[in-house]
Amino acid sequence: MIENLYRAIEDRTEELVALTSDLIRFPTVNPPGEAYTPCAEFIARRLSAGGFQTLFMRGEGTPGDSDRYPRTNVVARKEGRGPGPTVHFNSHIDVVEAGEGWTMDPYAGLVRDGKVYGRGACDMKGGLAASIIAAEAYIAVNPGFSGAIEISGTVDEESGGYGGVAYLASKGLFSKPRVDHVIIPEPLNKDRICLGHRGVWWAEIETHGSIAHGAMPFLGDSAIRHMGAVLHAFEKELYPALDRKQTQMPVVPEGARRSTMNINSVHGGQTEDFFPGLPSPNVADSCRLVVDRRFLIEEDIAEVKGEIVAILEGLKKKRPRFDYAIRDLMEVLPTMTDRDAPVPEALAGAIRQVFGREPDYVISPGTYDQKHVARLGHLHDCVAYGPGILDLAHRPDEWVGIDDMVESAKVMAIGIGALLNGAARPAT
């Protein structure tokens, strides 16, 4: 039986390559959200030819949505002959801009030396194509299957997923009883299962001062110097504390196996948009800092925020005239699916069959659409699994290996079978 499934996928290798190239030829660049509708329509045509029912859902009113750049999502569903669970493959169709450094047209879908090249080849049109071929091959070999298989192409993952998975999840498309198991074919390597991601908190910290003549700064109060004190305290107290917070989460790369914080930007003082004149010399009355704090499943978001507030409050006591404001910009809790939940278990079994080895379990340092499935869909049997090498994502001359796509399509197809037949343990 497995042999038939393998053959059905191998026989579709050319189709898989052509499908990947076709998907790359839609320049679904985000921002602004180019070519979403034709790409979604292409996916719908392809799947409805195979008996899937398709549904378009526009993320109306979500960030970036407009008549010029509609946030068009597609969800395709193939019902089996009998009742049973639903396995859903979700891929984002948006890509980041090509950027500099390409040695070829990033939207040509060029095939060379066993690789398909182009923006989105690995992140994640190769994964989308592999899941489509996996589903079609599974259905061809098992026409009498029970349950349902869904494939969605969603938008805006690269900008937070609000018009895509978040929108669909808020409409119940990622919840029971409609959907039971979700696989997101992000490029995490063909023999790894990504169980989830670290948490994120973005915040803006503003220090206040008072404006005065730059020649007599003692008459004012510099918000930038106050911010300097904040940065100094971060270096002395916060960063060492973050380094000490190691996690049990198997985050890759290993450097991210602890708490981290990036300072995204600092804005203070006079604007430099003064060309052709000069800025007037003033003491800065405001300075803003945007931080990107990535945290662990062992940490509580209140504790994450609390340690920064404690530093700011400490400065308020120590430093004359120090005053600040802090504003939340975004927060996403860490998520980690249990290794013995049905989806990771089914994929682990499939990886053993295809590669003859144990899978690696990993956690992504940054978030992806799994957050919305967990947060809004309340569905926790979800992982990322797909072909492609994560390090190639967003880079020039991005590619996906054809053999990798074929092998991961086999893993996906075996996984579908295990989940539909309940071979994996039921969710608890």
Residues forming the site for Zn ion (CB under 5 A)? 123-124, 186
Nearer to Zn ion, 124 or 308 (CB): 124
Question: For residues 415 and 418, what is the distance between their CA atoms, to the nearest angstrom?
Answer: 5
Nearer to Zn ion, 160 or 209 (CB): 160
Min separation Cβ 177 and Zn ion, Å = 28
Min separation Cβ 194 and Zn ion, Å = 11
Min separation Cβ 400 and Zn ion, Å = 12
Tell me the one-letter amino acid at 399: W
Min separation Cβ 252 and Zn ion, Å = 15
Min separation Cβ 149 and Zn ion, Å = 21
Nearer to Zn ion, 23 or 124 (CB): 124
Min separation Cβ 124 and Zn ion, Å = 5
Nearer to Zn ion, 165 or 291 (CB): 165
Tell me the one-letter amino acid at 81: R
Nearer to Zn ion, 155 or 418 (CB): 155
- Measured over the CA atoms of residue 59, residue 65, residue 66 and residue 70, the dihedral's sign is negative
Min separation Cβ 390 and Zn ion, Å = 9
Helix (H) or strand (E) holding 88: strand 82-92
Nearer to Zn ion, 65 or 123 (CB): 123
Nearer to Zn ion, 65 or 186 (CB): 186
Min separation Cβ 374 and Zn ion, Å = 17
Nearer to Zn ion, 124 or 400 (CB): 124
Q: Rg of the Cα trace of the chain? A: 24
The residue of the chain with the least Cβ separation from Zn ion equals 123
